[in-house]
Amino acid sequence: MVRRARKTGQVQMIFVTSRKLDFSDLVRDLTAEFPEIETVAVNYQTSKSSEIYGDRTEIIWGKEAIQEGVLDYEFSLSPRAFYQLNPEQTELLYSEAVKALDVGPEDHLMDAYCGVGTIGFAFAKRVKSLRGMDIIPEAIEDAKRNAKRMGFDNTHYEAGTAEEVIPRWYREGYRADALIADPPRTGLDDRLLETIVRYAPPKMVYVSCNVSTLARDLVKLSQVYDVRYIQSVDMFPHTARTEAVVKLVRKESVRMP
- Strands (E) in 28-97, as ranges, are 37-44, 56-62, 66-70, 73-77
What is the rounded distance in angstroms from the CA atom of residue 186 to the CA atom of residue 49?
Answer: 15
Q: Which of 109, 179, 188, 209 is catalytic?
A: 209
Distances (CA, A) of 254 to 83, 103, 104, 223, 249: 35, 20, 22, 9, 11
- Beta strand 243-250 pairing with 225-233: antiparallel
Element (H, E) at 199: helix 190-199
Give the closest residue to 60 by CA, choosing from 32, 18, 31.
31
114 part of the active site: no
Query: How far is the CA of 251 from the CAs of 221, 223, 226, 255, 257, in angstroms?
Result: 11, 9, 6, 9, 14
Element spanning 251, H or E? none
Active-site amino acid positions? 209
